[in-house]
Amino acid sequence: MRAEIADGSVAKKSTMTDVEEMRRRLQDYYRIPIALRKQGTTKAPCPFCGKLVEYPLGDGHQDAQCDKDELDELEIEIGERVFIPGYGVTVIEYPEDKRVVVPDNLIFH
C-alpha cells in the first residue's frame, strides 16, 4: 500500500498547503500516530501532546517524547483505536513542495 498525497490530487490546493491537515489525512489513512517533519529540519509536532520535539534524523518509527507526567493523560483516537505515547510515533519527512510519498516499509502497526 502506497499513499501519495499531493496538492491537487486528493484535495483542493488551499487545504493541502496546511501541514496539519496533511498530517491528519495520513494518520487517518494509515491509522497510526504520525509526525510530519520538513526535510532538513530536526523538529516536528508530536501527535500526542502537540509540542515541537526533536526526533532522530530520517523517516520511521520513533519513541514519543512527551513529558513523563503527562503520559497517562495523553491518548489519541485514530479510527477505532486509541493510542498512547508508549506506542511511539511514525516520523515522515516532507519536502518544501509538501508532496508526501510514504515508503511501503515505513509503516509500523
- Residue ranges binding Zn ion (CB under 5 A): 46, 48-49, 66
Q: Which residues pair with 62 in a beta bridge?
A: 89
Q: 58: which DSSP letter?
A: S
The torsion angles phi and psi of 19, rounded to 5 degrees, stand at -65, -40
Q: Which residues lie below 8 Å from residue 1, measured CB to CB, with a gap of 6+?
A: 104, 107
Smallest separation (angstroms) from Zn ion to the CB of 45: 9
* Nearest CB to Zn ion, comparing residues 5 and 64: 64
Smallest separation (angstroms) from Zn ion to the CB of 56: 15
Smallest separation (angstroms) from Zn ion to the CB of 66: 3
* Nearest CB to Zn ion, comparing residues 5 and 49: 49
